[in-house]
């Protein structure tokens, strides 16, 4: 029995595998005899990846989590070029690009990808270092959105911000100590939304180079919002 829970290219569960099949990202599929999802079975016939019939116990050994009778080995995720994301943004009347300033939780990144897909974000920029990369865990958390939202890696946050400004974007960062409520701005311009890391937030240098620094008012006892939740709230406001 092969134990490969450390394999970073394994995804599992019906929805993540289905979206990966649709996006032609699947190399191998491990499936039980009892698996009976009609839509996925049709995709397997169409895409024809390598398929291996295994026991439910073997799938348990492969992954940590509820696999629903199917596990897939996917191709490594590739990053798009920053210039390509800018090119795509020009096709949108009011484009949005999201910049992640050091997100280190795979589930946060996956959830942010989902929100970016929902609100038609042109792309995400992430630093090459001190940032969780695209991987199978992110793919599962994104519920397939990883296949539709382009992501580019950047070497310098400051250079990326300047390039966005040169291309007509306004930089909007989030910070709990900001004076401006996020609802006070009319987002009728190209927006580059900066979401900070889970622990440190947006770096002071990025805030200094932002056109707007906004906060989400909070009324509860825990004075903190998860990065992905904050991203969803802000993207909903910007898009609508």
Q: Note the pLDDT of residue 71.
A: 95
Question: Would the pLDDT of 7 be above 70?
Answer: no
Q: Note the pLDDT of residue 218.
A: 82
Q: 211-237 pLDDT, tens per residue? A: 999 999 888 766 677 899 999 999 999
Length of the chain in residues, anyone? 240
Average pLDDT of the segment spanning 180-204: 92
Helix (H, G, I), strand (E, B), or coil: what is residue 24?
A: coil
Q: Note the pLDDT of residue 65.
A: 84
CA 236 → CA 99, 133, 183, 187, 230, distances in Å? 16, 25, 11, 11, 10
Question: Would the pLDDT of 13 be above 80?
Answer: yes
Q: Note the pLDDT of residue 52.
A: 95
Average pLDDT of the segment spanning 86-110: 94
Smallest CA-to-CA distance from 71 within 20, 114, 113, 109 is with 20
b/e string for 175-196 if b means 16 or more Cβ within 10 A?
beebeeebeebebeebbbbbbb
Instruction: Say how far apart CA 115 and CA 110 lie, in whole Å.
Output: 9
Q: Note the pLDDT of residue 1.
A: 31
Question: Would the pLDDT of 2 be above 50?
Answer: no
Class of domain 10-74: alpha beta
CA 151 → CA 116, 117, 188, 220, distances in Å? 11, 12, 24, 34
State the pLDDT confidence band at 6, using cuts at 50, 70 and 90.
low
Q: 30-51 pLDDT, tens per residue? A: 999 999 999 999 999 999 999 9
Average pLDDT of the segment spanning 179-201: 92
**What is the helix (H) or strand (E) element at residue 205, kind and residue range?**
helix 204-208
- Taking phi over 0 as left and psi of -120 to 50 as alpha, with beta for the rest, 69 belongs to left
Smallest CA-to-CA distance from 194 within 167, 156, 227, 168 is with 227
Question: Would the pLDDT of 131 be above 50?
Answer: yes
State the pLDDT confidence band at 3, using cuts at 50, 70 and 90.
very low
* CATH code matching the domain that covers 82-239, chosen among 3.30.420.10, 3.40.50.300, 2.40.40.20, 3.40.1280.10: 3.40.1280.10
State pTM to two decimals: 0.86
**How many CB atoms lie under 10 A from the CB of residue 97?**
27
Domains of the chain, by residue range, sit at: 10-74, 82-239
């Amino acid at each position: 029995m092969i134990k490969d829970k450390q394999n970073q290219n394994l995804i599992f569960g019906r929805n993540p595998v289905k979206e990966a099949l649709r996006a032609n990202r699947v190399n191998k599929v491990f499936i039980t005899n009892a698996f009976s999802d009609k839509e996925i079975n049709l995709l397997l016939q169409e895409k024809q990846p390598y398929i291996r019939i295994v026991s439910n116990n073997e799938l348990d050994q492969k992954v940590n989590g509820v696999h629903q009778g199917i596990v897939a080995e996917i191709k490594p995720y590739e990053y798009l070029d920053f210039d390509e994301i800018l090119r795509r943004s020009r096709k949108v009347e009011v484009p949005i690009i999201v910049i992640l300033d050091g997100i280190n939780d795979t589930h946060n990144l996956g959830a942010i990808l989902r929100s970016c897909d929902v609100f038609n974000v042109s792309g995400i920029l992430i630093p090459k270092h001190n940032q969780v990369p695209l991987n199978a865990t992110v793919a599962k958390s994104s519920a397939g959105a990883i296949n539709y939202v382009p992501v580019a890696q950047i070497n310098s946050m400051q250079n990326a911000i300047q390039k966005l400004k040169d291309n007509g974007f306004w930089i909007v960062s989030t910070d709990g100590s900001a004076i401006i409520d996020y609802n006070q701005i009319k987002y009728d311009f190209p927006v580059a939304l900066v979401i900070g890391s889970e622990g440190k937030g947006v770096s002071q240098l990025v805030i200094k180079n932002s056109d707007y620094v906004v906060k989400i008012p909070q009324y509860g006892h825990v004075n903190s919002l998860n990065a992905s939740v904050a991203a969803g709230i802000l993207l909903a406001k910007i898009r609508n």
